[in-house]
């Protein structure tokens, strides 16, 4: 068990990649707090993991709302007494060509993906500092690593921002024993991406070296590594996870 008795917060853990991270963390012995703007989704995951509610809790949180995030941190502390791992996974995309991208569409994506990540990091930092240890894992994207067709400039900018935030956070918090790393997945098959026709998903995978599709579990396995002691000499890094679409 790689994460035995550690306490992990997973934002956007109600479905998709976040759900896979929560499930794998739990099976590695972590106690998990699933934060999601969609409470029933989060609750269904925690109920399936631990119906007693002792080792898995669901909290309704909008990561862009400072008050809700602060309250959720207090709830995790009152239930589990510590926070060892924060996975900033909650994210949205709203793609439009540049000429049709309104300021509202641009800013809404920046707000959840980048500002939300900032708000959650800031909320847990004092607790991790007091503990003298913590691991922060930010879910970026291939779209923030390299120009990609069809992701939208708002999404790409937000995820590039997450990578920059992670690097500086690692420098700021490293001396206090807190690690900050990012994962930049390429196309991952989730309920959401499965709604696109297979030929569209295939175009996102052009140039891939490994023929297997990316799955939420692939991201979760990398998150376990970054959350565990096995990565104790790694901080400020973004791990590319894309079957070789981007090799550099």
Ligand X SMILES: NC(=O)c1ccc[n+]([C@@H]2O[C@H](COP(=O)([O-])OP(=O)(O)OC[C@H]3O[C@@H](n4cnc5c(N)ncnc54)[C@H](O)[C@@H]3O)[C@@H](O)[C@H]2O)c1
Give the side-chain half-sphere CA count within 13 A for 109: 22
Rounded distance between C-alpha atoms, residue 115 and residue 119, angstroms: 6
Confirm if 35 and 11 have CB atoms less than 8 A apart. Answer: yes
Residue-by-residue DSSP string for 106-175: HHHHHIIIIIHHHHHHHHHHHHHHHHT-EEEEEE--GGGTS--TTS-HHHHHHHHHHHHHHHHHHHHHGG
Active-site residue among 26, 106, 155, 179? 155
The CA distance from 42 to 130, in Å, is: 28
Q: For ligand X, which is the closer residue by CB, 131 or 167?
A: 167
Shortest Cβ 241–ligand X spacing (Å): 8
Output the smallest distance, CB 97 to ligand X, in A.
Answer: 19
Query: Is 161 among the residues that bind ligand X (CB under 6 A)?
Result: no
Q: Which of residues 38-77 bind ligand X (CB under 6 A)?
A: 38, 41, 61-64
- Does the footprint of ligand X cover residue 83 (CB under 6 A)? no
CB of 53 to ligand X, least distance (A): 19
Contact call for residue 114 and ligand X (CB under 6 A): no
Give the one residue of 7, 30, 33, 37 binding ligand X; rule: CB under 6 A: 37
Tell me: does residue 152 bind ligand X (CB under 6 A): no
Q: CA-CA distance, 60 to 98, in Å (whole number)?
A: 33
Instruction: Report DSSP state, residue 212.
Output: S
CB of 155 to ligand X, least distance (A): 7
| Residue from 32, 36, 71 nearest 55 by CA | 32
> Closest approach of Cβ 176 to ligand X, in Å?
26
Query: Does 193 sit near ligand X (CB under 6 A)?
Result: yes
Quick one: residue 152, left, alpha or beta (phi over 0 = left, psi -120 to 50 = alpha)? left
Task: Decide if residue 138 touches ligand X (CB under 6 A).
Answer: no
User: Which stretches does DSSP call E strand in the chain?
Assistant: 7-11, 31-36, 56-60, 85-88, 134-139, 178-185, 238-241
Of 18, 152, 161, 243, the one binding ligand X (CB under 6 A) is 18
Among 116, 152, 161, 243, binds ligand X (CB under 6 A): 116
Tell me the C-alpha distance between 11 and 90, whole Å. Answer: 5
Active site includes 155? Answer: yes
Output the smallest distance, CB 59 to ligand X, in A.
10
Q: Provide the mask over 214-243, with x wherever binding to ligand X is found by CB under 6 A and - wherever it is not.
A: ------------------------------
Binding ligand X by CB under 6 A: which of 22, 91, 135, 218? 91
Q: How many chain residues are in contact with ligand X, going by CB under 6 A?
A: 29
The residues annotated with a catalytic role in the active site are 155
Binding site for ligand X (CB under 6 A): 11-12, 14-18, 36-38, 41, 61-64, 89-92, 112, 116, 139, 141, 185, 187-188, 190, 192-193
């Amino acid at each position: 068990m790689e994460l035995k008795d550690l306490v992990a917060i997973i934002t956007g853990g109600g479905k998709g990649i976040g759900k896979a991270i929560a499930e794998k963390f739990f099976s590695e012995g972590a106690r998990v707090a699933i934060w999601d703007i969609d409470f029933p989704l989060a609750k269904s995951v925690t109920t399936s993991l631990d119906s007693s509610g002792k080792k898995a809790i669901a909290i309704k949180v909008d990561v862009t709302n400072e008050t809700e995030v602060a309250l959720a941190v207090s709830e995790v502390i009152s239930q589990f007494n510590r926070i060892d791992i924060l996975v900033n996974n909650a994210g949205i995309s709203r793609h439009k060509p540049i000429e049709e991208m309104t300021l509202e569409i641009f800013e809404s994506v920046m707000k959840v993906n980048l500002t939300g990540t900032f708000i959650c990091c800031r909320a847990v930092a004092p607790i991790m500092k007091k503990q003298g240890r913590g691991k922060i894992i930010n879910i970026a994207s291939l779209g923030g690593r390299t120009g990609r067709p069809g992701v939208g400039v708002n999404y790409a900018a937000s995820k590039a921002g997450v990578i920059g935030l992670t690097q500086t956070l690692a420098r700021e918090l490293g001396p206090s024993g807190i690690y900050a790393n990012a994962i930049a997945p390429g196309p991952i098959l989730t309920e959401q991406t499965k709604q696109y026709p297979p030929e569209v998903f295939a175009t996102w995978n052009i140039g891939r070296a490994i023929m297997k599709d990316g799955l939420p579990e692939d991201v979760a396995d990398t998150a376990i590594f970054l959350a565990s002691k096995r990565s104790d000499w790694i901080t400020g890094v973004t791990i590319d996870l894309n079957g070789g679409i981007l090799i550099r």
